[in-house]
Chain A
Amino acid sequence: LAKTTQPISMDSYEGQEVNITCSHNNIATNDYITWYQQFPSQGPRFIIQGYKTKVTNEVASLFIPADRKSSTLSLPRVSLSDTAVYYCLVGPFTGGGNKLTFGTGTQLKVEL
């Protein structure tokens, strides 16, 4: 599984856009990029998943450059409730259950 590297922590203020970049230099051709959010004492929650270019949903956007060696999770206009740990994961779609290897994640702290 491709190893990922993210910043350990980030600080922001309410209303700002937050961009969290993840490096995955060894990403394989059949790997997808998935981001999860985790609040304390809760299981991770799926945010967004993509393979290339740009993906957008009601929560976030995911930007993936052509070489796919990195990806950026973009959270528009964050609020205090977005304070959480964000994990970037890379792995193949096996169709039978894909083992996920979690890295350190990025602790995002949003302040007033």
Chain B
Amino acid sequence: GAVVSQHPSWVICKSGTSVKIECRSLDFQATTMFWYRQFPKQSLMLMATSNEGSKATYEQGVEKDKFLINHASLTLSTLTVTSAHPEDSSFYICSAPREQQFQETQYFGPGTRLLVL
């Protein structure tokens, strides 16, 4: 089946530093990927849509200058949390859609746990 990976799986950083999270589709190409954030005991919240070859589109309330997204290739999207602060500590998850037999299925990465001290 389709696999989406994320790296790193967890990261601890100091306040003010930047952290890059990678999302890869391992056995299919994805012109679009999505980034979500999930706080404890809450549902996933869509942050942005990553588009290969063009700018990402951000959901309302998400700062595009703080959460930089680069869709470098058909199998890789990166999310950079710039000048991270403790309130950015969360579980970040990416997903990539795959079309099969006239249906579209979203495959999710395992997530990246970010802790900002």
Q: Which of the four size classes fits the interface of chain A? A: 20 to 34
Q: Is the CB of A41 within 8 A of B113?
A: yes
Q: What residues of chain A lie closer than 8 Å to B4, measured between beta carbons?
A: 43
Q: Are A87 and B104 touching (Cβ within 8 A)?
A: no
Q: Are A43 and B113 also in contact (CB < 8 A) when A95-B99, A100-B34, A102-B43 are? A: no
**Minimum CB–CB distance for B49 against chain A, Å:** 7
- Interface residue? A104 (CB, 8 A): yes
Cβ–Cβ < 8 Å partners of A97 in chain B: 30-34, 49, 97, 104
Q: Does B75 make an interface contact (CB < 8 A)?
A: no
Is the Cβ of B105 less than 8 Å from the Cβ of A49?
A: yes
A-B contact number at CB 8 A: 66
Instruction: Judge if B28 is at the interface, Cβ distance under 8 Å.
Output: no
Shortest CB–CB separation between residue B40 and chain A, in angstroms? 9
Majority-rule SS of A interface residues? loop
Please tell me if the beta carbons of A43 and B104 are within 8 angstroms of each other in the complex. Answer: no
Rounded to whole Å, the gap between the CB of A89 and the closest CB of chain B is 9
Decide if A101 touches B111 in the complex (CB within 8 Å): no
Specify which of A44, A45, A49 is in contact with B103 (CB 8 Å cutoff): A49
Tell me the bound Cα distance from A42 to B108 in angstroms: 9
User: Does the CB pair B108–A94 fall under 8 Å?
Assistant: no
- Chain B 85-104: CB-based contact to A (< 8 A → 1; otherwise 0): 00000010111010100111
B45 at the interface (CB under 8 A from A): yes
A81 within 8 A of B: no
Question: In the assembly, what is the distance between CA of A87 and CA of B22, in Å?
Answer: 25
Query: Contact: B43 with A87, CB < 8 Å?
Result: yes
Give the distance to chain A from B85, nearest Cβ to Cβ, in Å: 22
- Tell me, in angstroms, the Cα distance from A87 to B113 when the chains sit together: 21
The residue that A43 contacts in the complex, of B31, B32, B95, B97, with Cβ under 8 A, is B95
Q: Which residues of B contact A (CB under 8 A)?
A: 4, 6, 30-34, 36, 43-46, 49, 91, 93-95, 97, 99, 102-111, 113
Chain A interfacial positions (CB closer than 8 Å to B): 32, 34, 36, 41-46, 49, 87, 93-105
